[in-house]
Amino acid sequence: MGKGLGFGKVAGWVDKASGYTLAIATTCTATGVRFVMQQELQDRNRMLLFIPAVLVSAWYGGVGPGIFAIFLGAFLCALILIPPITNVNFGDRTDQIGMALYFFVSFGVVALVHRERQEKHKRELAQQELEQLNQSLEARVLERTRELEVANRELEGFCYSVSHDLRTPTRAIVGNIHILIDDYGESLDEPIRQKLTRISRAALRLGDLVDALLTYARLAKAGLRRESVDLGALVATVAHRCADGLGASLIVERPSELIVTGDKAQLRTAVEAIVMNAVTYNKKGVDARLTMAFERTESDVVVSFRDNGIGFDTQYLHKIFEPFERLHRDDDYPGVGMGLANVARIAERHNGSVWAESTPGQGATFYLRLGNQDPVEFREPQLLSA
């Protein structure tokens, strides 16, 4: 501690000494320049060159070196510049008036420079405080971000664990109810059979919710394996399987080839959700149709999926991409409300986004933007029936 204080004192003395050394150097320089120009200027403006010396001394050294430069300049002028050179002479009345003006201007310069130095010091302190505040704020933001990331990971892990653990009891409920109905169905009263059936349906819906939640949680935990994927062919395959599984008719119009870069498994999940949406919300008595197109924008690919379904009111647009949000009753259109939420998460993981346009009764168009894409070659679309 003592060594630190001693070093600080020495540093202060060195700083002060450098200020007075600068004052001596600048004042002597001004004296030498004025002495060399003595024949050209004669008795005019003897003190003029000393004012810049005072300014430099006060700016870099402070008030003390500035005042020292004032008196040193006056002394050197009286000793060297005002004849006779052998002794100190303040000259005639003109020289004395010039000397008085020199003192007046020089002290004013020192005062102004001192004020500016103080303002500069205040600005530097304010800048340092602002930088420290910014650093503190950035540290707090990073800390809060880490805490939020940890909380999100814990929440996602909790959702995954809960969803995974719920699958077994849910299946057990459905299986045991089916056993009861098969083994004792003839001996059960009709009201009891109906209640068991309702319990079975509710358990099946719970199972669907658990599966959907597991899929949503897996999207957050799974890594992203980027590869070239023919999205058009993927849509055709998924549409064929969905149409066969639901016993529905689905016409798909797609580009013959649409190569994108992304995780094939996740893109399949997104496409399944969009295709299932087109089939589920189709108009009754009309074959479902899904028209696929794409557009290149800089390094992104925007793929559109237009259906001919019932559409939706755009005032609810903010809800359709949220988990478990539905615009229709289960009795009218079955589902759990997780399909488009999965699409939104998949788009986000591919540095993209998803949005939709729709008019009630005239179908809907969903746009899937995938970022960081390679150039895509356009081919004429062809009709595929699934």
CA–CA dist 4, 72 (Å, integer): 35
Given a contact cutoff of 8 angstroms between Cβ atoms, the answer to whether 231 and 363 are in contact is no
Q: Say what the pLDDT of residue 267 is.
A: 92
User: Residues 378-385: what's their mean pLDDT?
Assistant: 50
Q: What are phi and psi of 254, to 5 degrees?
A: -145, 160
Mean pLDDT score of the chain:
82
Q: Examine residue 334 and say whether the peptide bond preceding it is cis (omega within 30 degrees of 0).
A: no
- Give percent of the chain above pLDDT 90: 11
- List, for residues 81-126, the tens digit of each pLDDT value: 777 766 777 777 777 888 888 888 989 889 998 899 889 889 999 9
Q: How many CB atoms lie within 10 A of CB 327?
A: 13
- Residue 9: pLDDT band (50, 70, 90) is low
User: Residues 279-289: what's their mean pLDDT?
Assistant: 85
Q: Is the pLDDT of residue 382 over 60?
A: no
Q: Say what the pLDDT of residue 317 is.
A: 85
- Residue 22: pLDDT band (50, 70, 90) is confident
Q: Which has more pLDDT, 47 or 331?
A: 47
Please give the radius of gyration of the chain, using alpha carbons only, rounded to the nearest integer: 43
How many Cα atoms are found within 13 Å in the side-chain-facing hemisphere of 192? 9
Task: Take residue 145 and report the two structure tokens written for it.
Answer: 């971000």
Identity of the amino acid at 49: L
- Residue 303: pLDDT band (50, 70, 90) is very high
- Residue 375: pLDDT band (50, 70, 90) is low
User: Residues 353-363: what's their mean pLDDT?
Assistant: 91
Q: Say what the pLDDT of residue 368 is.
A: 93
- List, for residues 160-191, the tens digit of each pLDDT value: 676 667 777 878 887 888 887 787 777 778 88
Q: Is the pLDDT of residue 307 over 90?
A: yes
* Residue of 59, 153, 18, 43 lying closest to 98 (CA atoms): 43
Of the ranges 33-47, 176-190, 233-247, 253-267, which one carries the lowest mean pLDDT score?
33-47
- pTM above threshold 0.85: no
141, containing H or E segment: helix 93-184
Strand, helix or coil for residue 288: strand
Q: Say what the pLDDT of residue 49 is.
A: 81
Strand, helix or coil for residue 230: strand
- Give percent of the chain above pLDDT 70: 87
Q: What are phi and psi of 365, to 5 degrees?
A: -125, 125
Q: Say what the pLDDT of residue 203 is.
A: 79
Q: Say what the pLDDT of residue 6 is.
A: 54
Q: Is the pLDDT of residue 378 over 80?
A: no
- Regarding beta strands 300-307 and 288-297, do their DSSP bridges make them parallel or antiparallel, or are they unpaired? antiparallel
Q: Say what the pLDDT of residue 10 is.
A: 59
Given a contact cutoff of 8 angstroms between Cβ atoms, the answer to whether 59 and 97 are in contact is no
User: Residues 238-261: what's their mean pLDDT?
Assistant: 83
Q: How many CB atoms lie within 10 A of CB 372?
A: 13
